[in-house]
Amino acid sequence: MMPYFKFGFFSVDFSLVVAFVIGIGFGFSLERGGFGNARILAAQFYFYNMRVLKVMFTAIVTAMLGLFYFSWIGWLDMSLVYATDTYLLPQIVGGLLLGIGFVIGGYCPGTSVVSMSTGRTDGLIYVLGMLFGIFVFGEVFPLLEGFYNSTYMGRVLLPQYFGVSFGMVVFLVVFMALGAFAAGEWAEKKFAKKGRIAE
Partner 1 sequence: MVSLTRFFSKKEKLAEGKTFEPKPYSNPYLVGVGLGLVLLAAYLIMGRGLGASGAASTLVAVTVSKASPEHAAKNNFYKEYLGDENTNPLKDWLVFEVLGVAVGGFLSGTFAHRIKRTTEKGPNVSIKTRLIYAFVGGAIMGFGAKLARGCTSGQALTGGAILNLGSWAFMLAVFGGGYIAAYFIRREWL
Measured CA to CA in angstroms, residue 115 lies from 32, 104, 132 at distances of 12, 15, 18
Q: How far is the CB of 195 from partner 1 (least distance, A)?
A: 10
Contact 22, 15 (CB under 8 A): no
Measured CA to CA in angstroms, residue 76 lies from 4, 8, 72, 81 at distances of 9, 14, 8, 9
Binding of partner 1 by 190 (CB under 8 A): no
**Cα 94 from Cα 83, distance rounded (Å):** 18
Q: Name which position in 11, 72, 74, 106 contacts partner 1 (CB under 8 A).
A: 106
Binding of partner 1 by 134 (CB under 8 A): yes
Contact 46, 60 (CB under 8 A): no
Q: Name which position in 8, 11, 21, 192 contacts partner 1 (CB under 8 A).
A: 21
**Cα 88 from Cα 36, distance rounded (Å):** 30
Q: How far is the CB of 119 from partner 1 (least distance, A)?
A: 5
Binding of partner 1 by 191 (CB under 8 A): no
Q: Computed over its alpha carbons, how large is the radius of gyration of the chain?
A: 19
Q: Name which position in 11, 72, 95, 190 contacts partner 1 (CB under 8 A).
A: 95
**Cα 184 from Cα 81, distance rounded (Å):** 31
Q: Name which position in 8, 72, 73, 90 contacts partner 1 (CB under 8 A).
A: 90
Binding of partner 1 by 141 (CB under 8 A): yes
Q: Name which position in 87, 174, 187, 192 contacts partner 1 (CB under 8 A).
A: 87
Strands (E), 32-75: none
Q: Which of residues 153-182 bind partner 1 (CB under 8 A)?
A: 153, 156-159, 161, 166, 169-170, 173, 181
Interface with partner 1: number of residues (CB under 8 A): 126
Q: Which of residues 26-85 bind partner 1 (CB under 8 A)?
A: 26-34, 36-40, 42-46, 51, 54-64, 66-67, 70, 76, 80-85
